[in-house]
Structure 1
Amino acid sequence: MKKLVFATALAIGSLTIGTAATPIIFHDGIMEDIFLQDYTEVAASDLPAPIVNALATDYEGAMLNKAYVDDENNYKLEITTQDGVSSVLYADAEGNWLEM
């Protein structure tokens, strides 16, 4: 009888340990909203010429999907390359690429 009680307690204890170690992952679009909080969407025609030139030179054939600007005049560009790969680039107003 002691073995049965011990086995039951061990089984219940192992179940609670397994569920406690599982991380909870939230993905409901909140992170996209957080990343966009600092940026305001701008039209492609409003981009500074150095950024347009840098994009044409360094990412030849890439299509600009969306552009955003922050308070410090840094730009976030969502592009699609010729290979069909979506990418996000960051640049300053002088057309220098930024690491984010």
Structure 2
Amino acid sequence: MKNLFFATVLSFVGLTAMAQEETAEAQMDETTTVASIQDFQEINISDLPETVKAAVKKDYPTASIDKAYKNESDQYKLELSLKDGTKGTVYADAEGNWIEI
């Protein structure tokens, strides 16, 4: 009876340890994603490619660009303000295509 109890406890501990390892890996992936988002460096709005400015003008005609950021992958983070006071952040590549980060 003691052997059965001991085997059950060992199985439970083993399963718990495996579950914790998977959780740790998932947390590392989320941290990596967050780090890549924070790699943006602020740039002057005048330094934005014309394709990005044209995309904002086309898809957000009432928006003004408050701040612009760029990362090493030539992706742009734009902080926009609409005329109605709404603010938001959008991301674009160098060709003016909207991306999700």
TM range (shorter): 0.5 to 0.7
Q: Structure 2 counterpart of 1:40, which letter? A: Q
Find the counterpart in structure 2 of residue 84 from structure 1.
Answer: 85
Counterparts of 1:1-100 in structure 2, within 5 Å, are 37-100=38-101
- Secondary structure in 1 aligned to 2:84? coil
Gaps of 5+ in 1: 1-33
Structure 1 Cα separation of the partners of residues 36 and 57 of structure 2: 25
Considering only aligned residues, what root-mean-square deviation do their CA atoms show, in Å? 1.6
Give the length in aligned residue pairs: 67
Find the counterpart in structure 2 of residue 17 from structure 1.
Answer: none
TM-score of the superposed pair, with normalisation by structure 1: 0.62
Name the structure with the higher helix share: 2
Runs of 4+ with deviation above 2 angstroms: 34-37
Gaps of 5+ in 2: 1-34
- Secondary structure in 1 aligned to 2:72? coil
TM-score of the superposed pair, with normalisation by structure 2: 0.62
Structure 2 Cα separation of the partners of residues 99 and 84 of structure 1: 23
Q: Structure 2 counterpart of 1:71, which letter? A: E
Identity percentage of aligned residues: 43
